[in-house]
Amino acid sequence: MNIQVGARYLGNGHCTFTVWSPDVEAMAVQIVSTAQTIPMARSQGDYWQVTAQDILPDTLYFYQLNNQESRPDPASQSQPQGVHGPSQVIDQAFEWTDHDWAGVALEDLIIYEIHVGTFTPEGTFDAIIPRIQTLKELGVTAIELMPISQFPGDRSTDDPSAYRNWGYDGTYLYAVQNSYGGVTGLKRLVDACHQQGMAVMLDVVYNHFGPEGNYISQFGSYFTDSYRTPWGSAVNYDNVHSHHVRNFFIQNTLYWLREYHLDALRLDAVHAIYDLGAKHILAELAEHVEALSNEQNRKLYLIAESDANDPRVIRPIEVGGHGMDAQWSDDFHHALHALLTGDQIGYYQDFGKCSQLAKAYQDSFVYDWQYSPHRQRFHGNVCRDRPSSQFVVCIQNHDQIGNRMLGERLSHLTSFEGLKLAAGALILSPFVPLLFMGEEYGEEAPFTYFVSHSDTGLIHAVREGRKREFAAFHAQGEPPDPESAETFEMCKLNWETRTEGQHHILWMWYQQLIQIRNTMPALKRQDHLETDKAARTHLKAGSDNEKKVVWWHRWSDNNHALCLMNFNPNDVVYSPDTFDFSWEKVLDSADKKWMGDGSRLPEKLEPRQELTLRSQSFALYKV
C-alpha cells in the first residue's frame, strides 16, 4: 500500500484531498472562505478522495464527517490557526539550491540537538541560519530538530513564545509548527544547512499523539486498547485496519524526507511502539526509506531512540532485525552521569561503577541481559555483532535535563573539570556523539518542561502530574510551572556567553576534541562487518573501580590511541597497561591551557610507568 494522504496541490488551482475514514457514511471538504462543501467519493480501502478546482494555495479547509462535525485534516500540512483551527492547502514548490548535496555518512555525524523555540531569542527556523557557521566551526556536521509538528498554543497573540512546547505533544504529524516559520521557514533552514555542508535531522513521534486537538480517532481506528503506553492507548500497528494506520506513518516518514530534503529522522521512544505482526512497522519504514534513498541516490537514515537495549532494532531485516540505521545507547549516558554526579535516583541506581562505563565503551550496552535493580528484572541483550557507528550517545539531552525537576544542565551538576572530562569521554568515543544545544560552552540556563494548553482541565492535569512525578525524589519545593511563560523564557540560551571566560575555553576544548576525532587514524577507524569477524575488534577498555579510573585503547594498523579518565575528586597515582609502546601525549584537560590546575603527566609515556592523574581529568596519548 502506498497511498498519499492529505491535500496535494497539483497546480493551476487543482488540489486532491485524500483521507482514510472507514466508518463514516459521508465525507466532504468544507472550504472556510466560501462555506462551500465539496463531496468526496469513497474509494478502495475506505479512502475518501476528490480533486477539486479553484483551490489555490493557502486555502483553509475542514473535513466534514457525516454532514455534521467539521474537523481539521489528520494529514494537514499546515495549521496556521492552531490545532483546533482549519487546515491549509500548501504549495510545496520551493527553489532549492542543494542539488549537489550528497549527505553526511553515519560515522561522520556530530549531532547537535536543537529546540527551535529556545535556541534563539526569536525562536524560529530563520533565526537558526546565522548560527550554522559557528556550529560548523565547532565541528558539528548535523543539527537535530526536536519535534516541529503542530502543537497547541495561545492563538490570541502573534508572539511566537505563546506556543510553548517541547514538541512531543504534536497532533498533526504532517504540519510544520506555524510559530517556528512553517513550511517555507523549514525549507529555508534545510537549504541553508546543506549549502554549508550541514545535515539536518528531525525528531518524529510515532508512539502517541498529543492530548489537545487530537481528533484523529474520529476518522478511524488509529488506536488500540490491546496495549497501553504512558500516554494511553497505543497506536494501532497490528490490529484491525492497521495497514491503513501504518500507511499514514509510512507516508509521513517519506513526506519529511522527500518534501523537506531532510537527511535523517530520529524516531522517538520506539520501545513504546507495539507491533506483534510478522513484519514490524519499523522494518516496513526501513524498507520504504531504503527505496527512497536509492531513488534519490543518497543515503537517508532512520535513528531509533530506545531504552530496551535490543539489538534487533538495528540488525538487518534479512536476519530478523528491524533495519534501523542506528539507535541510542542510554547506558553510556547513565554510566557517565552517575560517575560525574554521584546521582543514584531512579535509573541511576543501576550505575555508578567505572567498570560499567568501560563496558559501555566495549559493548555499547551495560545491561545486555544483566539484572537491573531499578527495573527489578533482567534487561537488554548483547550487541557486539553491530558496529559502534550504529549507536548514538550523549552526556546530556532534552530528556536527561528536562526530566529533572529544575531542568539543571550538567554545568550545574559537576565542576568545570567534570565538564571537560565528560566532553572528552563523549567526543572521542567510538560512537556517534550528540550534543545538546549550549553544551559546548557550558550553558547555564535550565531546560525544564514547558507547555501551552488552552484547556483548563488539561492545564491542571499537567501541573499536578509534574508534582506527582517528582514527589518521590524531592523532599521540598515544586517544579517550575510548565504553563508559565517565564518558565519558557528562562530556558532560552545565553548564546553570547560562548565567547567569554570558561565558556570560551570549553568551546575550544570541544572544537579540539572534534578535530582529533576527525584526524587521528585510530579514532577514525570504524569496524565493518564485511571486513571484521565481529565488530569492536580494535578497541579494548578497562577500569579501576577503587581509584575511579577508566581507560581505553583504540588502534588502526600502526596508529594507537590511549585514553585515561580520572573520575576521582582527588588526584590518583595509576599505572596503566600501556601495551609496551612509547606514547606521546596529545592533550590533557588538566593543562593550564584549558584552565586546569596543571598537568602532572609526562609528555612521553613508557610501558608500566607510574602516573599522577589530576582529579576529574581526561588525557590522550598516541603512538
For the annotated catalytic residues, the residue numbers are 268, 305
C-beta of residue 122 within 8 angstroms of C-beta of residue 173: no
Q: CA-to-CA distance for 65 and 210, rounded, in angstroms?
A: 22
C-beta of residue 602 within 8 angstroms of C-beta of residue 539: no
Q: CA-to-CA distance for 78 and 16, rounded, in angstroms?
A: 16
* Overall residue count recorded for the chain in this entry: 623
Q: CA-to-CA distance for 175 and 2, rounded, in angstroms?
A: 20
Q: CA-to-CA distance for 228 and 594, rounded, in angstroms?
A: 50
Backbone angles phi, psi at 523, to 5 degrees: -95, -25
The count of other CB atoms within 10 Å of the CB of residue 227 is: 18
C-beta of residue 603 within 8 angstroms of C-beta of residue 584: yes
Per-residue b or e along 57-76, where b marks 16 or more CB atoms closer than 10 Å to that residue's CB: eebbbbbbbeeeeebbbbbb
C-beta of residue 458 within 8 angstroms of C-beta of residue 482: no
C-beta of residue 285 within 8 angstroms of C-beta of residue 270: no
Element (H, E) at 376: none
Q: CA-to-CA distance for 388 and 107, rounded, in angstroms?
A: 9
C-beta of residue 334 within 8 angstroms of C-beta of residue 307: no
Residue found under cell 575528586 = 569
3-state secondary structure of 93: coil
Q: CA-to-CA distance for 462 and 460, rounded, in angstroms?
A: 6
Backbone angles phi, psi at 558, to 5 degrees: -95, 5
